[in-house]
Amino acid sequence: MIYPLPYPESSKPPQTWTLASYNVQDLFDTSDDPNSQDGRPAENRLRNKLTRLRRVLQILDADVVGLMEVETLGVLTRLNLALGAAAYAEAVLLEGNDPERGIDVALLSRFPVLQIQSHTADTYETADGQTERVFSRDCLECHLKLPSGETLVVLVNHFKSKRGGEIESEPLRTAQAVRVHEIAEHLRANYPLVAVIGDLNDTAESQTLQPLLSGPLTDLLARDIPAPNNYSFVHRGEAERIDYLLASPDLTDRFVPNSALLLHGGWARRASDHAPARAAFALSRPAAKSYPENLTAAYDREYPPYLGYRGAAKINAARFMPHTLVRLQGQVVVVTGIVERVEVTRGTGVVRLLLGNTDPFLAIQVTILPSDRAAFAQAGILDIGGYTRGKMVQAVGTLDFYRETPEIQVSRPGQLKVLSQENTQNGSHGI
């Protein structure tokens, strides 16, 4: 949803709560920090900046807002107080890792903050074997209490920019995407409602963000706002979206369709070079899921309990329904289908089996990583030379999404088996 000028005073759908992400572009205080290259604006310039940001926040009317490029808790407090009666009950900012500009990520919330966790000390191993801090600023983890009494966990991020070279900065952005994915997946075990928001400084098509965007989180802006309006930043005349609202499967279930918005022009353009993003979610828990006739939710005794496949939904890959796959994203499923295509990615050794249809938008992909191929071969399951098109197979695992094609990644022999050794259709074709 893109609002033309003038913006409505408040566009929040009724009976919902809203989440927003906004890079406010260089919100510095008037004090000089000798340890960073901060902007140190004059007082009148800061007041003008706060006035513009206040107007944008009033238009957004979001219950929770993640902010990027805020220097200090003091200037965040000034922005919050500028909202007057609409000031947020909670304002959170922890000093991050940016020594150059001194900018941090922050959060404003109308909901109570239950817990705060910084990830500034998280590390990764560089290509040359060095251990470095992974986050350029922080991955700010905030646990909030929703009106329903449930806990919402918001991870506010600002990934490494492309300053200094796009290629040179890719490894760090990739490491950041990997680590945020790990944090989100760890949280989902105890907190089903998880949101990853912020300026990730790359597009959804980039390889750097694939560890985060390939599932199970849903990119709500990509899902809800069509091109050409799906952009949040203009770089050298090219419109691109580098800001995100990502939701866990349970949070996606509560997403209100057509509620996502990006504010372009007007006050938003005067206040920052990024468009703020916002989405709405239902206040109450969604109704129990109902599945089409070709799905069941019964425990299959063929998969022993130690593999953890209790209550796996069964899918016939030849008859699946796309909206069902969306609702099942992140859940354990059992997929049965005919191998339509086999791909072995050169240079990586990744094996991909396409089940159900030659059209990738109507198929389910089973992926076997190079590190796991030996185990499948040893168990007599995987024979690359003979694993040809037309064989009936069954795979079990968590249903994720790899770009547009649903994907199940298997790592143990017990997750994949051949139901029919004979080619059941289309004859025998080599890889």
CATH number for 313: 2.40.50.140
E strand or H helix at 25: strand 16-27
Contact between residue 59 and residue 308 where contact means Cβ atoms under 8 Å apart: no
Residues 221, 245: Cα–Cα separation, whole Å: 7
325 three-state secondary structure? helix
Residues 356, 317: Cα–Cα separation, whole Å: 5
Residues 54, 74: Cα–Cα separation, whole Å: 16
Helix and strand element counts for the chain (H, E): 9, 23
Chain centroid, CA 190 distance in Å: 18
The residue among 122, 246, 156 whose CA lies nearest residue 193 is 246
- Same domain? 265 vs 414: no
- Same domain? 405 vs 274: no
Contact partners, residue 209, CB within 8 Å, separation at least 6: 173, 177, 200, 202, 203
pLDDT single digits (tens) 192-231: 999 999 999 999 999 999 999 987 899 999 999 988 889 9
E strand or H helix at 386: none
Q: Is residue 296 part of a domain?
A: no
- Same domain? 264 vs 321: no
- Same domain? 210 vs 359: no
- Same domain? 277 vs 312: no
What's the pTM value of the predicted model, to 2 decimals?
Answer: 0.68
pLDDT in tens, the chain (431 residues): 433 333 444 456 778 999 999 999 999 988 867 665 666 788 999 999 999 999 999 999 999 999 999 999 999 999 999 999 999 999 999 999 988 888 999 999 999 999 999 999 999 999 999 999 999 999 999 999 999 999 999 999 999 999 878 889 999 999 999 999 999 999 999 999 999 999 999 999 999 999 999 878 999 999 999 888 899 999 888 999 999 999 999 999 999 988 999 999 889 999 999 999 999 999 987 665 444 444 443 333 344 333 444 456 667 665 555 556 666 667 777 888 887 877 777 666 777 777 876 665 567 888 887 777 777 777 666 665 555 567 788 888 877 766 557 788 888 777 887 777 554 443 322 22
The residue among 135, 41, 140, 50 whose CA lies nearest residue 90 is 140
State which amino acid sits at residue 209: L
- Same domain? 187 vs 55: yes
- Same domain? 229 vs 138: yes
- Same domain? 258 vs 312: no
Number of domains within the chain: 2
End-to-end C-alpha distance for the chain, whole angstroms: 44
DSSP letter for each residue of 176-221? HHHHHHHHHHHHHTT-SEEEEEEE-SS-TTSGGGHHHHTSSSEEHH
Residue 187 structural domain: 16-282
Q: Is residue 364 part of a domain?
A: yes
Contact between residue 297 and residue 39 where contact means Cβ atoms under 8 Å apart: no
Residues 50, 346: Cα–Cα separation, whole Å: 53
Q: Is residue 399 part of a domain?
A: yes
- Same domain? 107 vs 199: yes
